[in-house]
A and B are shown apart, each in its own frame.
Chain A
Amino acid sequence: MPTHDELPEIRAAEREKQGSYRHSIRVCMAAGCLSQHEGTIRKALVDAVAAEGLEGEVQVKGVGCMGLCAQGPLVMVDDSILYEKVTAEDAVDIVKALDKKPVKRIQSSLNIPFFQRQVKIVLENSGIVDPESIEDYISRDGYAALSKALGEMMPGDVVDEIMNSGLRGRGGGGYLTGLKWSTVSKAISDIKYVICNADEGDPGAFMDRSVLESDPHRILEGMTIAGYAVGAQKGYIYVRAEYPLAIDRLKTAIKQAKRLNLLGDNILGTEFDFDIELRLGAGAFVCGEETALMASIEGRRGSPRPRPPYPADHGLWGQPTLINNVETFANVAPIIRNGGQWFASIGTENSKGTKVFALAGQVKNTGLIEVPMGVTLREIVQEIGGGTTNDAGLKAIQTGGPSGGCIPVEFIDTPVDYDSLRMLGSMMGSGGLIVIDDTASMVELALYFMEFCMTESCGKCIPCRVGTAQMHNLLNRIVRGEARAEDLELLEQLCDLTRNTSLCGLGQSAPTPVLSTLKYFRHEYLEKIAAPPAEEAAS
């Protein structure tokens, strides 16, 4: 059972082991790439290494997401050579080329803005550590923050450090994490809970999934530190059942952490006990909302309830509960390791640190990126993303998923931070960033999101249940060219009503995609209305 002193020994031993290899070949085993090779590439590489008799000199390791999913499957050699669109047949060539020139035919450049413009905190280990090895995580300073917190800091110090970092919740709301921790730590109760929200409901985003698949121990470490800080002994990770790989890796990670006494009773030989259990979601967007999520953990239908009381006072089974998003927890260990000041030096005045985005849609380099807060949309889409596919014109950027809005190309120089995006009528959201080109109809996009909200409405309150259905109906008529000018007015009234009278965030934000497209692309709505129905029928 390791104590504080033994953790560095494990770290040193693992580093020595890894340092003894002359070469290291890393294969992406995250969902995107894995769907294309199912592990055959790793096996082929292991075989090729064996065939050359290099087992002791060359390490082949499965790792998490390297980011450039569009070019996958990816293989990285010694941090310096990246291969793209690799197949199992390439394995022999890759191994044979180790001490020679790289294999040209599949070589990708690391000298592109996609890699150079990123700053990695949350994803610092993604694509580097083996997500199924706790020793590998420890070798990269893993669990050093937990050891520091338990060994050198009082719970109040930990809360202060998070407060000083200026970290804001990454689940969408952007609430100050330090403030939330402080509230839960002050709540008086023998039983408190920590929940990690891994429900990732935004249908076009995969940041949380990627972190869980690529670096699961980081979440366990962040949650355990949170448990110590707020005085909780039990944590739950609420993860979508649609993410089987993330679930498997979390289960493995929890087992490993228990084995090394980094979870369970008397963690690292201290008085502190903390345990983490998984709870599976079952495909309901509204369960990402915190009160619905807690109802779901309790085994009930995931319907939200009015707040206050907030979970910090009255959460899971009525006890004070800290609930944070995956990416929020992923920032905790680096903040404790390097100090809140360090974190606060990255980003902008009111948005500190970095943000992970799932870059998707009509953009060349789709994949996962992490950038400091305050970079512009232009840098993200044109430089890191490499511009639009097929050289179509860029029309808009959608952020915040079904609760967010579309930012037209005129505002492409807006810095990405919580406040700027809100001012444009969108939101940071959890990190989905969809690039939309000239060929897309904004009205149809609004219809798409409304259909999503209508299907996902839990039906508990009337404005949301009826409002989303009515708005969907109106949008449908507009798209089909059957609407009249009055319908647009009615649509706007319904938006207003639903936004102001719904119980939870789902209903309150359901009109956002409509309002933002109406604001910037009103002409597209008008064109559909102006077109006389006869013309449609004739064509």
Chain B
Amino acid sequence: MNATMRRNGYRADALIETLHTIQESFGFLDDVSLRFVADALRVAPSQVYGVATFYHFFNLKPQGKHVCSVCTGTACYIKGAGKILDAIKEQHGIEPGQTTPDGELSLLTVRCVGACGLAPAVVFDGQVIGNQDVEQTQARIEGWISHANS
């Protein structure tokens, strides 16, 4: 984080790069880090917060142990991404952007991960898997969770 800011000469335009670095290291942007960045780059905390909330890529809440992102880009939508998403929502009682109360699973949506040729695509903990259906996706999530409970 300090390195990113130093590399960019503590210029205010390094703000977004710095936020990327924080998210990479901690998985989300916490208040303490945001405040620290505002001081270091000499920009108002409100601007840092404004930037952090504007961009979908940044999470302001901690993520669950496993993250499942369903692609809802057009190609995946046409091929039934909605059904996959609905099934997960129902099974685990969470909406996109939420984490199960036990902290095991976060559900996210993304708009196109560039695997449209393999639609519908789902990203499991950062790994893109194409040609998914409800059963396959459910099975993978079950695999994570049963593993945690055993």
Contact B14 A448 (CB under 8 A): no
Contact B16 A282 (CB under 8 A): yes
Q: How far does the Cβ of B102 sit from chain A's closest Cβ, in whole Å?
A: 27
Which of A1-9, A10-18, A44-52, A358-366 lies on the face that meets chain B? A358-366
Partner of A72, one of B73, B110, B117, B121: B117
Inside 8 A of B40's CB, which chain A residues have their CB? none
**Chain B: CB-nearest residue to A297:** B13
Inside 8 A of A204's CB, which chain B residues have their CB? 73-78, 112, 116
Partner of A32, one of B73, B74, B130: B130
The interface bits of chain B over 90-134 (1 if a CB of A lies within 8 angstroms of the residue's CB, else 0) are 000000000000000000001111111111010000011110000
The interface bits of chain A over 426-455 (1 if a CB of B lies within 8 angstroms of the residue's CB, else 0) are 000000101010001000000011001000
Contact A401 B74 (CB under 8 A): yes
Q: How far does the Cβ of B60 sit from chain A's closest Cβ, in whole Å?
A: 13
Q: How far does the Cβ of A40 sit from chain B's closest Cβ, in whole Å?
A: 13
Inside 8 A of B54's CB, which chain A residues have their CB? 284, 301-302, 458
Contact A280 B16 (CB under 8 A): yes
Contact B114 A362 (CB under 8 A): no
Contact A301-B50, Cβ < 8 Å, known A204-B75, A282-B57, A284-B56: yes
Interface centre among A209, A361, A362 (most CB of B within 10 A): A361
Inside 8 A of A301's CB, which chain B residues have their CB? 50-51, 54
Partner of B17, one of A70, A280, A367, A458: A280
Contact A70 B117 (CB under 8 A): yes
Contact B78 A360 (CB under 8 A): yes
Contact A362-B78, Cβ < 8 Å, known A203-B72, A299-B13, A301-B51: yes
The interface bits of chain B over 2-35 (1 if a CB of A lies within 8 angstroms of the residue's CB, else 0) are 0000000001111111011000000000000000
Q: How far does the Cβ of B73 sit from chain A's closest Cβ, in whole Å?
A: 4
Inside 8 A of B113's CB, which chain A residues have their CB? 31, 242
Inside 8 A of A32's CB, which chain B residues have their CB? 114-115, 117-118, 130
Check: A531 CB closer than 8 A to any chain B CB. Answer: no
A283 to B115, CA, bound (A): 17
The interface bits of chain B over 34-74 (1 if a CB of A lies within 8 angstroms of the residue's CB, else 0) are 00000000010001001100111110000000000000111
Contact B112 A203 (CB under 8 A): yes
Q: How far does the Cβ of B115 sit from chain A's closest Cβ, in whole Å?
A: 5
Q: How far does the Cβ of B138 sit from chain A's closest Cβ, in whole Å?
A: 19
Check: A300 CB closer than 8 A to any chain B CB. Answer: yes
Q: How far does the Cβ of B4 sit from chain A's closest Cβ, in whole Å?
A: 11
Contact B117 A69 (CB under 8 A): yes
Contact A434-B110, Cβ < 8 Å, known A31-B128, A301-B51, A366-B116: no
Inside 8 A of B20's CB, which chain A residues have their CB? 241, 280, 282
Partner of A361, one of B19, B51, B78: B78
Contact B118 A436 (CB under 8 A): no
**Chain B: CB-nearest residue to A301:** B54
Contact A361 B79 (CB under 8 A): yes
Q: How far does the Cβ of B71 sit from chain A's closest Cβ, in whole Å?
A: 8
Check: A298 CB closer than 8 A to any chain B CB. Answer: yes
Inside 8 A of A367's CB, which chain B residues have their CB? 117
The interface bits of chain A over 348-361 (1 if a CB of B lies within 8 angstroms of the residue's CB, else 0) are 00000000001111
Inside 8 A of B76's CB, which chain A residues have their CB? 204
**Chain B: CB-nearest residue to A36:** B130
Q: How far does the Cβ of B17 sit from chain A's closest Cβ, in whole Å?
A: 7
> Can you spell out 5 A-B residue pairs with CB atoms less than 8 angstroms apart?
A203-B73, A284-B55, A360-B78, A361-B75, A366-B116
**Chain B residues with a Cβ under 8 A of chain A:** 11-17, 19-20, 43, 47, 50-51, 54-58, 72-79, 110-119, 121, 127-130
Shortest 5 CB-CB contacts between residues of A and residues of B: A69-B117, A204-B74, A282-B55, A360-B75, A203-B73
